[in-house]
Amino acid sequence: MRFSGIIILALMFPVLNLTRGFAQERSFLRFNEKTDAKDAQIRDIENEIISMNLVNFLNLKPQQAAFILAEAKYLKELYGQCYNKRLEVKQDLLAVYARMKELLEEEKPIWDTPLHKQWVICSGKIDKLTFQIRSAIEESAKKVEGQLEDFQLRILDEFSDCIMPRYNEGFIGQSSKDSNFTFILEKIKNMSESAYAAQKDLLAQKEIDRIKNYYWNKNCMYFNPRSSKKDLLKTFEAARRMDKVSFELKKEEMSMRLRGKIICDPPSISREQRIVRLLLSEQAIHILDMKANKNNF
């Protein structure tokens, strides 16, 4: 898991120099540690499950699985080599940073000094290692893409990063995009005037909180930060004004329109990034190994 996690970060977030990379990564991790109840172990397992889903949905032939497996093993070996080389530089770099902190505390300059030159040398070495890894990943991803058939490329393009994907509208790997708002609209429609007047604001806020909690950086869709309680209340009022027959005919449509305002699709993930997930996942390597050695699957 250490292998997949660090490499994915290297691919997703450009590391232009070591100082900025270390500072941003630690700040980012500390922020998430304080704002998310999930720890690294849970997130690693979730990422592995997503990778396993993707491997299974691709319906790979044994020779395809063997090809991807070979590329994955090559990248893992390369990463191990680069990781060991990085450790050799790390101690020198940490010593440079320690001295930098001392000088800054004394309000002394660090620019254009021997210390500055040491930093350039150390960070340059790690930049080269990063470039070597990223270049290898990009090259392997292109090779794997060339081995996949059209239907498999379509699966890659359409696959959503979900823990519990299911068949949807005849396609594989999609979480359900059915509306979750029909129930609340039915509840609102059947409330008495007094109960609705007393509870409408609370119910709207609870629904917003529910969506925020469920969709924030999770599953396949995201809470839309531009939406508000007013969107819900407006739909509540429209449902209340309808007669029962009209409401039954229109509730799904209303629910889907509300969903469009409250929930948005996540940022798109490229085909290359999904291929990289296959190449860098420890558990995906395990499944690829099994598939490569099966005659029929």
How much of the chain, in percent, has pLDDT values that exceed 90?
Answer: 42
What pLDDT band is residue 190 in, cutting at 50, 70 and 90? very high
- pLDDT, tens digit, 9 for 90 and up, residues 65-78: 999 999 999 999 99
Greater confidence (28 vs 15) lies with 28
SS3 84: helix
The string of DSSP letters for 188-199 reads HHTS-HHHHHHH
What pLDDT band is residue 265 in, cutting at 50, 70 and 90? low
Residues 6+ away with beta carbon under 8 Å from 90: none
232 touches 208 (CB < 8 A):
yes
Q: Residue 119 is encoded by which pair of tokens? A: 């930093």
pLDDT at 208: 85
pTM listed for this prediction: 0.57
285 touches 75 (CB < 8 A):
no
Residues 6+ away with beta carbon under 8 Å from 3: 76, 79, 80, 280, 282
DSSP type of residue 218: B
Residues 6+ away with beta carbon under 8 Å from 38: 46
- pLDDT, tens digit, 9 for 90 and up, residues 163-178: 776 554 444 443 343 4
Q: Inform me whether the pLDDT recorded for 128 exceeds 70.
A: yes
Q: Which region among 1-15, 118-132, 175-189, 247-261 has the lowest average model confidence (pLDDT)? A: 1-15
Q: Residue 35 is encoded by which pair of tokens? A: 């704002």
pLDDT at 20: 42
Of 235, 122, 112, 222, nearest to 185 by C-alpha is 235
Q: Which region among 11-20, 103-112, 267-276 has the lowest average model confidence (pLDDT)? A: 11-20
Q: Inform me whether the pLDDT recorded for 82 exceeds 80.
A: yes
State mean pLDDT over 244-264. Answer: 88
Instruction: Map 233-283 to HEC letters.
Output: HHHHHHHHHCCHHHHHHHHHHHHHHHHHHHEECCCCCCHHHHHHHHHHCHH
Q: Residue 237 is encoded by which pair of tokens? A: 């009022």
What pLDDT band is residue 262 in, cutting at 50, 70 and 90? confident
Alpha-helix runs per DSSP H in the chain: 2-12, 18-35, 40-58, 62-105, 114-147, 150-158, 182-189, 193-215, 229-241, 244-262, 271-280, 282-292
pLDDT at 15: 33
Q: What is the Cα gyration radius of the chain? A: 25
User: Cα separations (Å) of 76 from 5, 44, 51, 295?
Assistant: 12, 17, 16, 26
| 125 exposure class (CB count in 10 Å sphere: 0-12, 13-18, 19+) | middle
Residues 6+ away with beta carbon under 8 Å from 166: 174, 175, 176
Backbone conformation region of residue 59, classed left if phi is above 0, alpha if psi is from -120 to 50, else beta? left
Q: Inform me whether the pLDDT recorded for 139 exceeds 80.
A: yes
Residues in the chain: 297
pLDDT at 132: 92
